Amino acid sequence: MSQYTGVAVSPGRVVGTIRTMAPPVAEPPADEKVPDGIDPTVEAERIPGAAAAVQQSLTRLAERAKGEGRTILEATAQMAADPSLTQTAQGLVLTGGKSAARAVWEAGDQVANMLEGLGGYMAERATDVRDVRGRIVAELRGEQAPGIPEVEEPFILTAIDLAPADTATLDPDRVLALVTSDGGPQSHTAILARQLGLPAIVAARGIHAFPDGTEVFVDAGLGTITDEVTDEHHRFAQAWVELQKNPLTYEGGGAVLSDGTEVQLLANIGNAQDAEKAAAAHADGVGLFRTEFLFLDREDEPSVEEQTTAYAEVFSHFPGQKVVVRTIDAGADKPLPFLTDADEPNPALGVRAYRTSWEKRSVLTNQLDAIAAAAKASEATVWVMAPMISTVEDTEDFASMCRERDLAPAGIMVETPSAAITADRQLAECDFASIGTNDLTQYTMAADRQLGSLAHLNNPWQPAVLALVQATCTGARRAGGDPEAFGAKANKPVGVCGEAAGDPGLAVVLVGLGVNSLSMTPRSLPTVAKVLSTVTLEQAKELAAKAVAARTAEEGRDAVRAGLPILGELGL
């Protein structure tokens, strides 16, 4: 028997046959020159033609894709048409005598390295550039471009990692589960797998020791893959199949624990299209409205009027319901030329999010003006919160800006250990807190959440992270004047809007720690509601205590799952 463990990013239990994604396109030899007898001008002219063919191929794939997949493919197709790559490559052919394939390879490296040097969001685009580079090289060679295997029977896909264009073509009817040896819980692969409801594990070192065609059992709730498939494994997998045939439904109204305790279930969104989907999924409102969509890929700040219109469109989908707006979270993985410093040596620990208002206050005040105007014209109940809060002074400053504009409730995001530890003082100065578990985990564990090699540290089951969630809830109840207040009774509510909220087992722990609302991708709403309905608040508290007291993240998760038989019954 062989078993490998990675980081679980999207639950589900599957028995199936491994099909391994073809390795990336081989690098052309460093000394590969223009073939003898070929005019360098003719060789150089092959490059834009190959790039255009790749663009057309990706565009055709985009036309067949849906939702986020189509968006990713369209963006990658545009990158294939970017003249900066083809013109640089042509120059290497004409001035250096390199073959077209070698020139494209080196030009792709130059562009990718430049993006990586910028850091954050731009660094993530380097993967796209190298994907496009490989596709152009394959076109020049007359080879098949890398991609998902074309086989008749459904299979379990294993890969080093998936390029955005490959991830966008994932078909849950063909791919039963996804296991990668690289990547992290916040990679594009993990995010899209969650959106598709596809069982997925990342950072599973050693997975490629399984030969193509091996039958395995994937437990994407635990993050394990084994080639010793038992009758019990088949029962678990069948339960998952039945869940797909008869999916759980969610009709709104929050989650109700078996003792009647209510927990609000909200959606994470990034734009009006997301808001429409969340409303259709009966989310009880929005727990995280990421407003960056208006600011990214722009040289200039959007006007107050443009922002007001965009926010009002989102609010219109939730009349009478809560919409929690996060003010701009620029910096780190989302640099903006008009707001952030591209030369910061460590942008994740730099001037990002709320901190940008220290020197460029008008960007935040303009945004608050727009939110206030949109809120006044809307029937939604608009809450506003600032990301990257570290001190009570930060909270006082942001809350005062909100009060000046009659924006209430006004709250903060708890993403730093300092905010969690001083939650009682923080919540004395504002109305609510929302825990961003992605960043809280990154900062607690001192592990860049973009690095696949640190994926095991970027695990919200880490006892240290859960202890800080508990500290936040305890501090909030103390600030609210009722140390025993849970659920809707809390005067100073605490929500969770990180990816952890959509994990059904972890949702039980979060509620047990004192969290009042959970915000997630709409697809996760039915399973989270179902699992929560099987426990009382006291049982949730007991399971939460085990998770916090555990020696390791794995031991805590296993102890909680052992106390939630519903997960096995659903194949989760």
Contacting residues for 325 by C-beta, under 8 A, at least 6 apart? 289, 291, 311, 371, 382, 383, 384, 385
Q: Write a three-state SS string for 118-183.
A: HCHHHHHHHHHHHHHHHHHHHHHHCCCCCCCCCCCCCEEEEECCCCHHHHCCCCCCCEEEEEECCC
Q: Which residue has the tokens 């250990």?
A: 417
Three-state DSSP class for residue 350: coil
What tokens does 142 get?
């007359």
**Residue 270 to residue 247: CA distance in whole angstroms:** 25
Strand, helix or coil at 226? strand
Exposure string over 63-99, b if 16+ CB within 10 A, otherwise e = eebeebbeebbbbbbebbbeeebbebbbebbeeeebb
Supply 413's token pair: 């995001």
547: Cβ contacts below 8 Å, ≥ 6 apart: 461, 463, 466, 509, 556, 557, 559, 560
Q: Is 456 a catalytic residue?
A: no
The closest of 368, 384, 377 to 288, measured between CA atoms, is 384
- Joined together, the tokens standing for residue 148 give 């998902």
Residue in this structure with the two tokens 């179902």, named with its chain if needed: 530
Q: Which two tokens stand for residue 112?
A: 């990718």
- Out of 188, 233, 317, 456, the active site residue is 188
**CA-closest candidate to residue 532, choices 550, 552, 517, 546:** 517
Q: Please pick, among 402, 430, 473, 497, the residue that the annotation labels catalytic.
A: 497
Single-letter amino acid code for the residue at 544 = A
Q: How far is CA 450 from the centre of its chain?
A: 10
497 catalytic residue (yes or no): yes
Strand 175-180 to 200-202 pairing: parallel
User: Any idea which residues carry the catalytic annotation?
Assistant: 188, 497
